[in-house]
Amino acid sequence: MEIIPAVDMKDGECVQLVQGDEETAKSYGDPVEAARRWVDEGAERLHVIDLDGAIDGERRNARHVERIVEETDVSVQVGGGIRTVEDAETLFDAGADRVVMGTAAMENPPLVGRVAEHGEVVVSLDARGGEVVVEGWKEGAGVSPVEAARRFEDEGASAFLFTNVDDEGLLEGVSVEPVEELVSAVGVPVIASGGVTTPDDVSALRDAGASAVVIGTAFYEGRMTYDEAVEAGK
């Protein structure tokens, strides 16, 4: 299982939120320094999200994203505020190897296929109470993750990022069943996220069939080291 540290950005700082609530934002300093830290610890891929872009649709952290891509020698998947083919092309041209699309994909599924002509597209399926949520997790999309995934697999998604918003940032563990259900329903890799707190959580998601896991708060709060997560994912 691939272990992918999260570098989420808001207003130019590396932050973590609880269940997407902006009022809970806790800063962990310079996002570029955070990215370098995870690379130094052995990460081979980073999950870089512009939260201002995800929440407001305005990619205010674009320069920080570009620096992370430019100044690290690892694979980077980038999301947050990618609304057009041109947005994605800019990131691919800058060196990102994957783009992560959520709200725009849900609003315009064929956009995924058009972006996929230029590079890998990870479709973000963020769910609360079994329903996909969009617009920075503020609005329900009226479909389940499995229903959405089947459509996007046909459109050319190379992977799915499944985040269980009900668990996100709480440091209380993961819900395995939704991951198992999604893995069983699609033929492309599923990346799991949300609530990962301990090595046992990593192992549980591995056993559920997830190909990778994104870890944020647990790393930043020292609940688990990168090496411990790697060992648990074997």
Tell me the pLDDT tens digit for each residue of 60-109.
788 999 999 999 999 999 999 899 999 999 999 999 999 999 989 999 99
Percent of the chain with pLDDT over 70: 98
Q: What is the pLDDT of residues 208-220, one digit of tens each?
A: 999 999 999 999 9
Whether 73 is catalytic? no
Whether 8 is catalytic? yes
Q: Write down all domains in the chain, each with its CATH number in brackets.
A: 2-232 (3.20.20.70)
Q: Among the listed ranges 38-52, 79-93, 113-127, 160-174, which one has the minimum average pLDDT value? A: 160-174
Exposure class string for 175-206: b at 16+ Cβ within 10 A, else e:
bbebbbbbbebbebbbbbbbbbbbbebbbbbb
CA distances from 206 to 13, 72, 155 (A): 31, 27, 26
Per-residue pLDDT at 219: 97
Per-residue pLDDT at 139: 85
Per-residue pLDDT at 233: 98
Task: From the candidates 50, 52, 87, 126, give the one annotated as an active-site residue.
Answer: 126
Per-residue pLDDT at 151: 94
CA distances from 4 to 1, 101, 132 (A): 10, 17, 22
Percent of the chain with pLDDT over 90: 81
Strands 21-27 and 13-18 come out as: antiparallel
Taking the C-alpha atoms of residue 39 and residue 35, their distance in angstroms, rounded to an integer, is 6
Per-residue pLDDT at 154: 94
Per-residue pLDDT at 19: 82
Per-residue pLDDT at 57: 66
Q: What is the pLDDT of residues 45-61, one digit of tens each?
A: 999 999 987 777 677 78
